Amino acid sequence: MTKPSARGASHSAADRSTRRGRQPIQPSPALYPDLAAAGSLSAALAQCAAENALDVGEVRSSSGSSSLIHAVVTSRNPRLDRFSVHLGAAERVLLVSAWGQGVHLTNGSTNDLTELAAAAAAWRAGATLAQLQAAAPFLTASPLALAHERGAEYAVAEKWGCYLTADTHRDQEMLRAAHAEPRLRALFPYTSHAALMFSRCTGSPFSRDVSTIHPLGDHRYAVHHRGEPFSTERVFTAQEAAAEVVARMPATWGPAVAGTRHDLRDRESQ
């Protein structure tokens, strides 16, 4: 059976969108004459890569109304996920966002399709973040992204380090108390609505099975155990709250691992 071309795949997505009663958004001929001529971003990117002898693999597009202005390239490196591209609406700009193991690793923008193709080819080849930036200087990577690339323990340490610096938006007493507990210090911390949460994996979606600490003000804290109603009947100091979270952790829960909660589930089911 003949494999459909990138142009054909793009047209198929557009046909499906039309059948659902929605017209796909078109690339603006004024801002993107090259993309409009190709019919879609994915088709134009595939064509540009071929013309420059760059291997980007199969360039996919979304199945929704944005199918013609969105493109995705996948990597041969199993630790890397999607390299996504969207078009700017007010000016010519190709917006890149790339992920791996549930972590936002790099982003950037260019108005040059050939530069974009070079970046996509580096991602396809499984380049490191340093190699990716060398091939595509318009891409940037945060210190946390670089730490994730080095390994789960480095990502955990980097995230704790970011949280423990002076920040008026986070409760430092709570953070210091949790960090003082070795088992919590080995987990990946994150916050939501002022609450301090802990994940047994470093990528999103997080594990969401460790108890959480909620600041109540005046150096008072509540602890919410997963699967139980949230209650403020028991109030703790910051140190007591951290110890309460540890007390509810099974002995088998060790340091956070790379990947998402789905990867963690698969790993623990083996």
In-domain check, residue 260: yes
Q: Which of 141, 157, 182 is the last residue of a domain?
A: 141
- Same domain membership, residue 125 and residue 24: yes
- Three-state secondary structure call for residue 253: coil
In-domain check, residue 1: no
- Same domain membership, residue 175 and residue 124: no
pLDDT digits (tens, 9 = 90+) for 103-124: 999 999 999 999 999 999 999 9
- Same domain membership, residue 264 and residue 160: yes
pLDDT confidence of 23, banded at 50, 70, 90? low
Amino acid sitting at position 13: A
- Same domain membership, residue 130 and residue 12: yes
CA 226 to chain centre: 24
pLDDT digits (tens, 9 = 90+) for 158-194: 999 999 987 778 899 999 999 999 999 999 999 999 9
- Same domain membership, residue 18 and residue 68: yes
For position 4, what pLDDT does the model report? 41
> Where on the phi/psi map is residue 39: left (φ > 0), alpha (ψ -120 to 50), or beta?
left
- Same domain membership, residue 81 and residue 15: yes
In-domain check, residue 199: yes
Helix, strand, coil shares of the chain, percent, nearest 5, are 40, 20, 40
- Same domain membership, residue 130 and residue 42: yes
- Same domain membership, residue 111 and residue 87: yes
Domain count, the chain: 2
Q: Whole domain around residue 123: which residue ranges?
A: 6-141
Q: Tell me how many helices (H) and strands (E) the chain has.
A: 11, 9
- Same domain membership, residue 102 and residue 55: yes
Q: Describe the strand order of the beta sheet including 212-217 as a list of residue ranges.
A: 188-192, 195-199, 212-217, 220-224
pLDDT digits (tens, 9 = 90+) for 184-198: 999 999 999 999 999
pLDDT digits (tens, 9 = 90+) for 26-58: 899 999 999 999 999 999 999 999 999 999 999
